[in-house]
Structure 1
Amino acid sequence: MTDTPERKPKTTLDAPVGSVDLAAFADDGTAYEIFACHYCLPWHAEVVVVEGEILVREWHAVDCQDFQELIDGD
């Protein structure tokens, strides 16, 4: 598989990855939809329970623009 022009070289399958935990539900109890990241190949998500709270843990390449926005709080 080759990189597309939109994908940075470090967002390939062997890129270093990081994770961020996100709320799985809105305040009214509606579940959030999860969409795959179009900017990095190693993206995946899992549902985790942390201190009794259900969260979605998203894994991205650390160089992924979506991941950087998530961890910066934008």
Structure 2
Amino acid sequence: MLPLHCEGYAGIDGPFILLTPRGKQQVGYLEVQGENRLVTDAEQVRMLAARYSSIRGQALTPRESLVLIEKKLGDE
């Protein structure tokens, strides 16, 4: 989960998946509004991997996420 005050979310452009097939180069997979695309260009995959790293850096820890969820459930 992301903190509520998070600005400049690195995943704002939508979801993606990074795949690393055994013995092959990493690829990206995008599904947006009924369209899908396999990303094999090394530079584009590198950019997706950097974006993923940013998202992980912005995310709360599992414990912090649980605390936030429990707080929001208690607010109802």
Q: TM-score range by the shorter chain?
A: under 0.3
Q: Which has the higher helix share?
A: 2
Q: Which has the higher strand share?
A: 1
After TM superposition, the score normalised by the length of structure 1 is 0.22
**Relative contact order, CA 8 A, sep 6+: which one is greater?**
1
